[in-house]
Amino acid sequence: MATITYKCPSCGSSLTFDGNAKEMACSSCGSQFEVESLKQAIEIEKESESFKEGTNWQAKDEGFSDEELNRTRTFNCSSCGAELITDETTVATECAFCGSPSIIPAQFTPGTRPDSVIPFKVSKDRAVELFKNYFKNKKLIPNLFKKNNQIDEIRKLYVPYWLFSCTADADITYSAKRVRSFRRGNYRITQTRHYRIRRAGTVDFKDLPVDASEKTDNKLTESLEPYNTKDALPYVPEVLSGAQASRADVAIEDSKKRADERIARSMQNELRSTVLGYESVVPISTKINVPDGTCYPALYPMWLITTKKADKTYTFAINGQTEQLTCDIPMSVPKAIGWFLGIFAGSSAIITFIMSLILQFR
């Protein structure tokens, strides 16, 4: 016959029943638990153990048709090695990543065919306007960006993505605490109550984008989200006319890992937002399951603008559909410190003024 040992949820030591308090007590950390609460905690752990964890993605990787191969060309930049896609009318261009001029070979190298393309809605003139307007009312940027912000290069680029869709299940168990202090006679007593909390839920993800280009930073591309996939068109080479496009060069397995990370983070944030009213909440068990996910390649529009300041190149990226803008311009540390000190000095002056009024009317 199997024996039963009750473990302390706080430290893992054995629990014994305290007849005076009528609660389960831990001799190691001093915690006490109501019998019914302990039963619920054990039940939560059993339910969590039965949750199946894992991910399963079915990737749609369709090759180019002969007709599309005849209308599409790819080339490798001789300077940085990036692989780019153009329509069949382009015979010379410049690399979208390093700006080097390139001659395109006539023979196309087969690659991952995009399933859909979101066309550009932001014109070149509008992209330039957004770049110039960015510096207005930006008080904490370095002074060298306050004037003569000339565009060194502007590129119209389709960036490859893998789009992930799934229904994800999550099961998370938390350890939480509530603390209260009160006075009893000559003593100040601090009471800590421990709770075991379980949350489970399901979230649908539709066309979650993962950057499929090694040449673009995930932080940069993710800061341009979201895109409106309702504007997406089925891929045809003509859509790329007048722009440059990079073929997916990130392994699909690496993209799946990135998608799993983003899905897990979203699920954790959603479930954590439902656990309220505790001084501390710590996840002790997190399980995510994607039983039947799908993914397919797509191209999304982006304007890349570079400007040079003090022999350093800075990059601006603009969502070619929504006008969302991001850049790598650093904050001016001296200006930030000055701004903080100004706020602090102003707050101190207000407090001093209020205190002087209080003293006058006492």
Question: pLDDT by residue (tens digit) across 151-210?
Answer: 888 888 888 899 999 999 999 999 999 999 988 888 899 988 889 999 999 999 999 999
Q: Is the peptide bond before 237 cis (omega within 30 degrees of 0)?
A: no
pLDDT in tens, 57-100: 887 777 777 777 766 666 677 677 777 666 554 434 666 666 66
Asked if the model's pLDDT at residue 306 lies above 80, the reply is yes
Instruction: Centre a 10 Å sphere on the Cβ of residue 82 and count the other Cβ atoms it contains.
Output: 21
Asked if the model's pLDDT at residue 112 lies above 90, the reply is no
Greater model confidence, 229 or 86: 229
pLDDT in tens, 10-62: 787 888 877 777 888 888 888 888 888 888 877 887 888 888 888 888 877 77
Cβ atoms 181, 190 nearer than 8 A = yes
- Output the CA–CA distances (angstroms, integers) from residue 265 to 196, 254, 260, 269, in the order listed: 21, 17, 9, 6
Residue type, 310: A
Confidence of residue 286 (pLDDT cuts 50, 70, 90): very high
How big is the CA angle at 231 (ends 227 and 232), to the nearest 5 degrees? 85
Residue 22 φ/ψ region, left for φ over 0, alpha for ψ in the -120 to 50 degree band, beta for the rest: left
Rounded Cα gap, residues 128 and 318, in angstroms: 10
Token output for 156: 């119209």
* Phi, psi for 290 (deg, rounded to 5): -120, 95
How big is the CA angle at 150 (ends 146 and 155), to the nearest 5 degrees? 130
Sorted by sequence, the CB contacts under 8 Å of residue 71 that are 6+ apart come out as 87, 88, 237, 238
Rounded Cα gap, residues 323 and 130, in angstroms: 8
Token output for 50: 């039965």
Classify 81 as helix, strand or coil.
coil
Rounded Cα gap, residues 333 and 335, in angstroms: 5
Helix (H) or strand (E) holding 334: helix 333-360
Instruction: Centre a 10 Å sphere on the Cβ of residue 132 and count the other Cβ atoms it contains.
Output: 10
Give the chain's end-to-end CA distance (angstroms, integer): 78
How high is the pLDDT of residue 173?
94
Residue type, 336: A
Confidence of residue 275 (pLDDT cuts 50, 70, 90): very high
How high is the pLDDT of residue 282?
94
Is the CA virtual torsion 67, 70, 71, 76 positive or negative?
Answer: positive
Q: Lowest mean pLDDT of 207-216, 242-251, 299-308, name the range.
A: 242-251
Asked if the model's pLDDT at residue 284 lies above 90, the reply is yes
Q: What average pLDDT does range 284-292 have in this prediction?
A: 92
Strand 54-59 relative to strand 280-309, pairing: parallel
Classify 212 as helix, strand or coil.
coil
Q: What average pLDDT does range 122-137 have in this prediction?
A: 87
Rounded Cα gap, residues 154 and 94, in angstroms: 11
Q: Delimit the domains of the chain by residue range.
A: 15-107, 124-331
Cβ atoms 140, 332 nearer than 8 A = yes
